[in-house]
Amino acid sequence: MYTRLLIVLSLVAVLLFLYGAIVNVGYIEENRCRMTYMFEHPQYTRIPVRGGERFPKYALYAYSEGYITQRVQQRHFTGAPVLFVPGSGGSFKQVRSLASVALRKGIDNNWQAHLDYFSVDLNEELSGVYGGYLQDQTDFLELCIQEIVRLYGARGARMFLVGHSVGGKLAQAVVALGGNGKRIERHVAGIVTISAPMDKPVALLDHYHQSFYDRIEQAWRANRSIAVPGATVPSPGGRPLDSILLVTIGGGIRDIIVHDGLTASRYADLHAMTHNIPNVWLSVDHLCAMWCLQFVLVTNRFLYSMIVAQPQQGRNSYAFVEDKRTMIAQAKRFLVQPFSGHDGKENPEYIAHQPEQEEWVEDIRRSFTEQHRAGLTRTRVQMIRLIPDKPQHRFLRVEVINAEQEDDWLSGCAALDVYENSRFCQRSVSLVNHTLPVPSSKFDRSGALLDLHELKQRNPRWTHVLVKLRRTFKPVQFSVDVFNPAEREIHVAMPRWFDYRKRTILQHASTDDSFYRLKVRGMIHTYQTIALDLQAIRCDAVKGSVVVKVHVPWANGYDRYAYHEELNGTTVYIYPPIESPVLAGGGKEEALIEVDIHLTPGCSY
């Protein structure tokens, strides 16, 4: 009896494991990363490290290509230094994608501003499996930092550490545990960790891991202020580690080695996931993060944005900016969504209009889409009326595709003037803080979601919201959808246990509907998942596409975007990356996970 029960349970466990493996490999978001290619053969020049004889199996290399190799061999470094730290079993050659793209940009700049990439060879040791390697790797990393500082001589270069996987933890460790009285942290401007297990290891396999993480935690707690969202940046005169920028980045659902929830740190100044970084918009697997072109480009743009000239150190001499506020501003610019939601600016930005050069159009329809395949011969200003008393006129969803947008494309005003039988505004107030980029691999897409009633309450004199489309020869499309939010909300409650039955939550979305919001109650554990199936039933002369945004209110930096173009059907997996604070008690009210579904007008779903 017991033997048969054991056999049955074992078979069920094996089948569940195989099912999970199949879902992870076959049904999770496809890999849409583009490969990064080198223009010339990569060269790795070994840099002798003073004191490195203690670690004969480790080495330090400088990256170069083509004629730049001669400069490296002559130890002629004039750029801002970046040191790459590989992870468990990782190779120092994984730096080539980041370094090659940066080198090409430096050459295109005529070497005016550039990065010098270095990489540490840690013998591809499996430090994620055996923690006994970690202290030696940290000690050698400290020697590498000191050697790079000596290469730059009197300039006293401060560098960025870019750590992949366990390499990110080593980068965090060296500024806290290293130094031996030499204050290693003063040579580090910032740390960028990629798919790194920050505050907890992936698996606690031995006491070395536990001791390593505990010592780092104690050192950072004593020497670093915990970052508070919205708080001002600690002054340089604060704790020793406060001046270092710490940016943590996770790979998302495709990374089956380091879970989303492990990639953030309580000490980070900013956390981002690759799937919500503008111009990336993709989940990347653990190794793909090092060669995914979309992510590599954004990372290098971020690092380049912090380069400043050092004329006092000679011609073509560059370093990273000293001011941490500037570094945080650049991190937000490149790694975070560039819109702020509901809060307007303290000083509104006014936009002047010239009606003699513009076409002002008001449409009484609540939902419509217009395509201009030959472009626009004149700048067009689409007027959307504010009607405060009708629920069906409460929310506005507007999207513009392929237009040449500037910060003045969305605004509000009181249309009290008349020009050639058309109402217009002499000037309007920018609503750029309400706009957001819409993920797409083919077009420039921008959108906005506005509460028109709230907008009218804050600006009682306003009569219209304006959408400005500039003159262009490119094909342009824009859509307007004014609706009652109560009619576009769908509430879903998680089952008490497991439920593999499919349930239809929306039978038919009209071709005019461009937005729905799904609210999920009872999803508080990281193992809870909903598979959301979306199917385009019929499209009128357009190709169906869907953008899904998953917002977990208790997980800052984890907003997830998934987009699918030219689809017949797709599945989006919804899950919380970290446990809900409701589990910790304290009488907190449960916050609902929100899933915003942006549909293409002209298609029914």
Rounded Cα–Cα distance for residues 195 and 250 (Å):
5
pLDDT of 339 reads 56
pLDDT of 85 reads 97
Distances (CA, A) of 316 to 67, 113, 311, 321: 17, 7, 8, 15
The answer for residues whose C-beta is within 8 angstroms of residue 273's C-beta and 6 or more apart is 249, 250, 251, 252, 260, 263, 283, 557, 558, 559, 560
Active site residues: 165
Scan for tokens 């002054």, then name that residue: 235
- Are 365 and 421 in contact by the 8 Å Cβ rule? The answer is no
- Are 179 and 188 in contact by the 8 Å Cβ rule? The answer is no
Residue 222's SS3 state is helix
pLDDT of 344 reads 44
Rounded Cα–Cα distance for residues 525 and 539 (Å):
37
Residues of the chain scoring pLDDT < 50: 230, 232, 235-236, 340-345
Rounded Cα–Cα distance for residues 47 and 601 (Å):
58
pLDDT digits (tens, 9 = 90+) for 491-501: 999 988 888 88
CA angle (264, 267, 268) in 5-degree steps? 55
The answer for residues whose C-beta is within 8 angstroms of residue 119's C-beta and 6 or more apart is 44, 60, 61, 62, 63, 83, 84, 86, 92, 93, 94, 95, 99
The secondary element (H helix, E strand) that includes residue 80 is: strand 80-85
Token code pair at residue 431 = 């609503």
pLDDT of 567 reads 66
Rounded Cα–Cα distance for residues 339 and 430 (Å):
13
By C-alpha distance, which of 55, 63, 203, 181 is closest to 131? 203
By C-alpha distance, which of 22, 34, 29 is closest to 548? 29
The four Cα atoms 466, 467, 471, 473 give a dihedral, to 10 degrees, of -160
In this structure, the number of other CB atoms found within 10 A of the CB of residue 146 comes to 17
Ordered DSSP codes for 161-216: EEEETHHHHHHHHHHHH--TTS-GGGGEEEEEEES---SS-S---SHHHHHHHHHH
